[in-house]
Amino acid sequence: MDVSRVSYKKLLVPLDGSGFAEMALPHAIDISHRMGASVVLVRVLPPVSLLLPLDATTIIDLEALKSKAREEAEMYIRSRAGELRQMNVPAKGLVVEGIPVAEQILNVATAEGVDLIVMTTHGRSGLGRWVYGSVARQVLLNAPMPVLLVPARE
């Protein structure tokens, strides 16, 4: 087996806005520098109604809330992609909406033609699970391309 032929040209890094998820970035940057790979950052937004407390008694403008969440996600992902470009990493950011989150990540990976997904085992709040279950596990089990799982530690 000739492992010197392993080469990655396009990486996908799912981010949820947490420091835990961002622990995958140094690994993606290193691979990019070594192999000349570009990086696609993706932020998956769940439906806004799932983010509301179950006992919400006030009337909420869901469209305004959805618009604000998308705007914040786009600013976040643009900022992270800009930081990577400043480090000579070709990068772009995408924001997609929907659940299950793992399925959305895999849809983007396929549509973008990535050859490696780089993500952490923990997401938001570091509870060992991304929002709505173990996203990392579902990505690992269902991805048609290799997945590099980075342990997220406090």
Domain hosting 57: range is: 8-98+112-119+135-145
153 domain residue, yes or no: no
- Tally of domains in the chain: 1
SS3 string, the chain, reads CCHHHCCCCEEEEECCCCHHHHCCHHHHHHHHHHHCCEEEEEEEECCHHHHCCCCCCCCCCHHHHHHHHHHHHHHHHHHHHHHHHHCCCCEEEEEEECCCHHHHHHHHHHHHCCCEEEEECCCHHHCCCECCECHHHHHHHHCCCCEEEECCCC
69 domain residue, yes or no: yes
pLDDT digits (tens, 9 = 90+) for 88-134: 999 999 999 999 999 999 999 999 999 999 999 876 644 444 443 48
pLDDT digits (tens, 9 = 90+) for 11-63: 999 999 999 999 999 999 999 999 999 999 999 998 866 555 555 555 667 78
